[in-house]
């Protein structure tokens, strides 16, 4: 345990320190932000490092094994509706709670001039994510090639992009990225890895990944369709 | 000031974690029935992750976000605008390098590929890809290129490459697109971009500043697919030599999660250590299928080398610990061992776990 903590601290420091150093150099050379703002940055950097150490250790010993255990148990119940239901629930709930999604809905609000209620948008995005998490689980089960799903998803996106009002395009693409935040990632990742690890003829390496990638497609399509409907 | 909105962040994370936690506890009570101490550790770990993430997000919000804005506004005024392009490259790399979710994905890829794809490689490729696309994004802001001119050819290229890529590479590539857009990228890089866009005349922060996340999501997809194609052209082969040893070897194959407990108790019974491996398999009492695909539950395999005279005591302890008497709990067997290398005898010490 002590070794684990030491190696995580080392990892996080090498992860964050370069960025902090660059900001400090910029501060003295060029930016010269007010001292209190700079102090706040230093405090923030310390919080980021401490937080990331705790988070990474916690994910390793808590969330990943838990998600994998749950994912591995799902197919053993032998019930397809149960798998669909739980995948949908986890995708939906994780997205609704994602802090970045809230930021995104404020952006959309600014672009659309408040034409759509914020919480409706959150639900649209969450349903988009949940739907594609379910698709991803079914894909693992049915052995449907991921390349076709991805290609189909992005071809639809590209076609829609040509007809979506210009101001909605950046927001739509952004929504795909922001929905998969730091808490959603380990949960959905572990679910897929655990799920594929117990099925005969499948393995975590060849089938377990791809859930996050597919989950990113849903909200892009959702926001684009919404943009077209609004105009 | 420092703790503004912390409660709100914490609440959001709790909401995201809650369904997993609740479902897990229900499953644990009804079907999983993993050892208690193991479950407590999982829950402890989750709480640690929860607090850690809240702290991390708060730090990004109060420290990196305002700093990014200040940096962006100053940089937008720089005369030699093309300098922003290499600057964007550097910031893109460093911000992604510090992204927690990217590290989690890297670790899982290393684990799932049994070490043949190293975590550091995954980190370099994703960070490098984002760096490249932030540089492109800077050029986009400076010269006012529409987002679609970059995004559509980018995704068309990715779709084209899908034809020639392995399915595991495809899945990891698109996952990487999702993880690269974490809090560092979305708050810090976006703050810089919006700051720059608002300082350059004729740029609309909403249209030109946003859209950066879309570039960050596209970047690792393209770099990983490219690397996958390069790697595919090479094939590697590994050979491993195993040396086996004297005394006897107890092999216990048990349900997932019980390995640690067995290790602990066999140590108490006199074993000098043990190795847990993960595997999958099925016994007569657990045959199940879903849509015709047989289910192979995960197992833990504990290898314990013991002195021949202690074998029975240790075995008995293992049987008791893992409840091997019950159907479906697992099996254990003893095999003779010809030679052992690497066991140093310290008769006065027993292993402590």
Query: pLDDT digits over A114-129, tens only?
Result: 766 777 778 888 888 8
Rounded Cα–Cα distance for residues A91 and B128 (Å):
29
Q: Is the pLDDT of residue B240 over 50?
A: no
**What is the DSSP secondary-structure string of B170-203?**
HHHHHHHHHHHSSHIIIIIIHHHHHHHHHHSTT-
- Residue B96: which residues within 8 A CB-CB, separation 6 or more? B102, B126, B127, B130, B131, B180, B184, B185, B216
pLDDT, tens only, B38-87? 899 899 999 999 999 999 989 988 899 889 888 988 888 888 888 889 99
- CA distances B80 to A30, A97, A142, Å, are 14, 42, 55
* Element spanning B302, H or E: strand B298-306
- A105-164 residues touching B, CB cutoff 8 A: 107, 110-111, 141-142, 145-147, 150-151, 154-155, 157-158, 161-162
Mean pLDDT taken over chain A:
85
Name the pLDDT band for A143 (thresholds 50, 70, 90).
Answer: confident
| Entry pTM | 0.79
Name the pLDDT band for A112 (thresholds 50, 70, 90).
Answer: low
Interface size A-B, in CB pairs within 8 Å, comes to 393
- B230-259 residues touching A, CB cutoff 8 A: 256-257
- Torsion sign, CA atoms B205, B206, B208, B211: positive
Rounded Cα–Cα distance for residues B133 and B136 (Å):
5
Structural contact between residues A135 and A199, judged by C-beta atoms closer than 8 angstroms:
no
Task: Show the tokens assigned to A117.
Answer: 């209620």
pLDDT, tens only, A13-32? 999 999 999 999 988 888 78
Q: Is the pLDDT of residue A223 over 90?
A: no
The percent of residues in chain A predicted with pLDDT above 90, rounded, is 24
Q: Is the pLDDT of residue A193 over 60?
A: yes
- CA distances A228 to A129, A176, A223, Å, are 20, 17, 9
Structural contact between residues A179 and A130, judged by C-beta atoms closer than 8 angstroms:
no
pLDDT of residue B239: 34
Residues of chain B in contact with residue A98, where contact means CB-CB under 8 angstroms, are: 12, 16
Mean pLDDT taken over chain B:
82
- Please indicate if any CB of chain B lies within 8 Å of the CB of A22: yes
User: Lowest-confidence range among A3-12, B233-242, B294-303?
Assistant: B233-242
Instruction: With CB atoms and an 8 Å threshold, state whether B62 touches A50.
Output: no
- Please indicate if any CB of chain A lies within 8 Å of the CB of B84: no
- B278-297 residues touching A, CB cutoff 8 A: 280, 286, 288-291, 293-297
Q: Best of B174, B256, B278, B297 to disrupt the A interface by mutation (most A CBs within 10 Å)?
A: B174
pLDDT of residue B210: 66
Structural contact between residues B297 and B279, judged by C-beta atoms closer than 8 angstroms:
no
Q: Where are the domains of chain A?
A: 1-65, 79-230
User: Lowest-confidence range among A124-128, A163-167, B46-50, B201-205?
Assistant: B201-205
Instruction: With CB atoms and an 8 Å threshold, state whether B206 touches A145.
Output: no
**Strand, coil or helix: what is A113?**
coil
pLDDT of residue B244: 38
Structural contact between residues B242 and B178, judged by C-beta atoms closer than 8 angstroms:
no
- CA distances B138 to A23, A96, B44, B90, B179, Å, are 18, 31, 43, 12, 21
Q: Is the pLDDT of residue A43 over 90?
A: yes
Instruction: With CB atoms and an 8 Å threshold, state whether A30 touches B19.
Output: no
Question: Which of B125 and B316 is assigned the larger pLDDT?
Answer: B125
pLDDT of residue B236: 44
Q: Which domains does chain B show, CATH number per domain? A: 6-232 (no CATH), 248-336 (3.30.70.120)
Structural contact between residues B189 and B69, judged by C-beta atoms closer than 8 angstroms:
no
- Please indicate if any CB of chain B lies within 8 Å of the CB of A165: no
User: Lowest-confidence range among A16-30, A40-54, B205-219, B335-349?
Assistant: B335-349
Name the pLDDT band for B157 (thresholds 50, 70, 90).
Answer: very high
Of B173, B214, B288, the CB nearest to A174: B214
Note the helical H segments in A77-117. Answer: 80-97, 99-112
Instruction: With CB atoms and an 8 Å threshold, state whether A44 touches B152.
Output: no
Residues of chain A in contact with residue B280, where contact means CB-CB under 8 angstroms, are: 197-198
Task: Show the tokens assigned to A84.
Answer: 């669909």
Name the pLDDT band for B241 (thresholds 50, 70, 90).
Answer: very low
- Torsion sign, CA atoms B165, B168, B173, B178: positive
Instruction: With CB atoms and an 8 Å threshold, state whether B109 touches A15.
Output: no
């Amino acid at each position: 345990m002590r070794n684990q903590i030491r190696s995580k601290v080392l990892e996080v420091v090498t992860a964050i320190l370069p960025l902090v150093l660059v900001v400090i150099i910029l501060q003295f050379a060029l930016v010269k932000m007010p001292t209190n703002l700079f102090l706040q940055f230093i405090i923030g950097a310390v919080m980021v490092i401490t937080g990331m150490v705790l988070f990474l250790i916690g994910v390793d010993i808590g969330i990943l094994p838990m998600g994998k255990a749950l994912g591995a148990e799902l197919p053993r119940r032998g019930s397809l509706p149960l798998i669909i239901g739980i995948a949908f629930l986890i995708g939906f709930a994780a997205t609704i709670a994602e802090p970045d999604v809230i930021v995104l809905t404020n952006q959309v609000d600014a672009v659309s001039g408040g034409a759509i209620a914020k919480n409706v948008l959150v639900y649209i995005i969450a349903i988009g994510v949940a739907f594609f998490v379910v698709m991803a689980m079914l894909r693992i089960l049915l052995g449907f090639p991921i390349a076709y799903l991805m290609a189909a998803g992005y071809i639809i996106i590209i076609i829609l992009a040509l007809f979506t009002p210009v101001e909605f395009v950046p927001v739509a693409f952004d929504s795909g990225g922001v929905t998969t935040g730091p808490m959603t990632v380990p949960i959905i990742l572990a679910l897929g890895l655990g799920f594929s690890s117990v099925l005969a003829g499948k393995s975590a390496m060849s089938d377990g990944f791809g859930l996050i990638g597919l989950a990113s497609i849903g909200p892009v399509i959702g926001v684009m369709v919404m943009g077209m409907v609004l105009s | 000031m420092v703790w503004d909105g912390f409660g709100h962040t914490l609440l959001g994370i709790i909401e995201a974690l809650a369904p997993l936690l609740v479902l897990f506890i229900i499953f644990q009570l009804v079907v999983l029935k993993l050892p208690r101490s193991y479950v407590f550790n999982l829950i402890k770990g989750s709480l640690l992750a929860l607090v850690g993430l809240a702290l991390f997000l708060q730090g990004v919000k109060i420290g990196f976000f305002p700093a990014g804005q200040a940096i962006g506004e100053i940089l937008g005024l720089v005369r030699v605008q093309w300098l922003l392009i290499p600057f964007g490259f550097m910031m893109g790399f460093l911000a992604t390098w510090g992204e927690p979710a990217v590290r989690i994905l890297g670790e899982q890829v290393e684990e799932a590929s049994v070490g043949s794809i190293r975590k550091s490689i995954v980190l370099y490729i994703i960070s490098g890809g984002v760096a490249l696309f932030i540089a492109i994004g800077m050029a986009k802001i400076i010269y006012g290129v529409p987002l679609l001119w970059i995004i559509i050819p980018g995704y068309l290229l990715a779709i084209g490459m899908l034809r020639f890529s392995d399915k595991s590479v495809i899945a990891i590539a698109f996952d990487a697109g999702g993880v690269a857009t974490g809090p560092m990228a979305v708050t810090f890089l976006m703050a810089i971009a919006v700051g720059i866009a608002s300082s350059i005349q004729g740029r609309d922060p909403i249209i030109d500043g946003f859209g950066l996340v879309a570039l960050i999501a596209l970047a690792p997809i393209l770099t990983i697919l490219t690397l996958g194609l390069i790697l595919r052209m090479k094939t590697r082969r590994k050979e491993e030599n195993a040396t086996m040893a004297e005394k006897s070897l107890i092999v216990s194959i048990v349900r997932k999660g019980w390995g640690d407990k067995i290790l602990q108790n066999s140590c108490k019974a006199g074993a000098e250590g043990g190795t847990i491996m993960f595997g999958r398999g099925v016994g007569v009492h657990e045959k199940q299928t879903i849509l015709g695909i047989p289910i192979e539950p995960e197992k833990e395999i504990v290898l314990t080398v013991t002195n021949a005279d202690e074998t029975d005591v240790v075995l008995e302890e293992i049987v008791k610990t893992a409840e091997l008497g019950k159907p479906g709990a697992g099996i254990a067997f003893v095999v003779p061992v010809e030679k052992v290398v690497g066991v140093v005898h310290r008769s006065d010490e027993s292993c402590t776990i």
